[in-house]
Amino acid sequence: MEEKKTVFVVDDSVANLSVAEKALEREFRILTMSSADRMFTILDRVTPDMILMDVAMPEMSGFDAIKLLKSNKAFAEIPVIFLTALADSYNEAYGIELGAADFITKPFHETVLLHRIRHHLNIENMLKGRTQQLEQALMASKAKSSFLSIMSQEICAPMNAIIGMASIGKASNDIAQKDDSLKKIEEASRHLLEVMDEILDISKIESVFREDVENCLEAGMSDHVGKPPDTAELIAKLRRFSC
């Protein structure tokens, strides 16, 4: 069973906290707090997947709290939805400008609240998936760059050996020396063949990787959250040449 997402509900009204908790507790792990100060204390120990927060609170308002959240790298990516009775467009625009993901007017309908939370969590999951894809692509790209930077040496070394041994064998009348040259030519040729096989394997893996990434990108901003392509085999093969 998938672990429940953690949602903070921050409101100075005990009644509002109770209503939100009852509406959400079946689907999410709910932690309620009566002030923004209390929220920041708990954030030192627990990082939520989302924060539902009132705007008009004593001591520290929701607007002041989100400013602090967004200024801290550890909390900046946590989506914040304001639950507020301040329904005017000015406050809503200001909250969005500060970084809020959404505004929900109180009193809220349970179905609407659940839908909004699911929607924004899906977006967060998709963004995390895309970020992971880009990180894996970057790792593969760096490994590939290292691979290409030494590939000429990996190919040229056995090729030079083959040419050199062929010249020695051709110029020598010594049967033993000719046999030795042929043996070294064979060894260099086998090594060269192994290198070429590795290149072909890498090309095949990279082609599949590229196709997976393109398929994920073609999904666009839909509800589909593509599984990041597995680039471990590609990176491992590339790194064999980088060591």
Instruction: Give residue 191's pLDDT.
Output: 79
- The answer to whether residues 86 and 136 belong to one domain is no
- The answer to whether residues 56 and 137 belong to one domain is no
Q: What is the mean pLDDT of residues 99-114?
A: 86
Report if residue 184 sits inside a domain: yes
Instruction: Give residue 162's pLDDT.
Output: 78
C-beta separation of 65 from 37 below 8 A: no
Instruction: Give residue 80's pLDDT.
Output: 95
Instruction: Give residue 229's pLDDT.
Output: 45
Give 188-205 pLDDT, tens digit per residue.
Answer: 788 777 777 776 666 665
Whole-angstrom distance, CA of residue 237 vs CA of residue 243: 11
Three-class DSSP category at 234: helix
Give 27-62 pLDDT, tens digit per residue.
Answer: 999 999 999 999 999 998 999 999 999 999 988 999
The amino acid that residue 65 corresponds to is A
Structure tokens at 15: 């009644």
Which of 54-58, 113-117, 210-214 has the highest average model confidence (pLDDT)? 54-58
C-beta separation of 163 from 144 below 8 A: no
C-beta separation of 10 from 59 below 8 A: no
Instruction: Give residue 137's pLDDT.
Output: 63
Domain stop point among 74, 108, 142: 108
**For the ranges 29-38, 77-86, 105-114, which has the lowest average pLDDT?**
105-114
Q: What is the mean pLDDT of residues 15-33?
A: 92
Tell me what the pLDDT averaged over the chain comes to. Answer: 78
CB environment 21-60: b (16+ within 10 A), e (fewer): eebbeeebebbbbbbbeebbeebeeeebbbbbbbbebeeb
Pairing state between β 6-10 and 50-53? parallel
Domain stop point among 59, 74, 108: 108
Report if residue 117 sits inside a domain: no
- The answer to whether residues 99 and 143 belong to one domain is no
- The answer to whether residues 156 and 236 belong to one domain is yes
Residue 81 pLDDT greater than 70, yes or no: yes
pTM, 2 dp:
0.55
Residue 123 pLDDT greater than 70, yes or no: no
Report if residue 125 sits inside a domain: no
Number of domains in the chain: 2
How many residues comprise the chain?
243
Q: Where are the alpha helices (DSSP H) in the chain?
A: 14-24, 36-43, 62-71, 89-98, 110-171, 175-218, 232-240
Structure tokens at 146: 């290292």
Domain stop point among 54, 76, 108: 108
- The answer to whether residues 92 and 179 belong to one domain is no
Residue 184 pLDDT greater than 70, yes or no: yes
Residue 225 pLDDT greater than 50, yes or no: no
CATH number at residue 29: 3.40.50.2300
Report if residue 116 sits inside a domain: no
- The answer to whether residues 90 and 178 belong to one domain is no
The amino acid that residue 57 corresponds to is M
Three-class DSSP category at 82: strand
Q: What is the mean pLDDT of residues 212-237?
A: 50
Instruction: Give residue 241's pLDDT.
Output: 47
The residue segments making up the domain with residue 72 are: 6-108
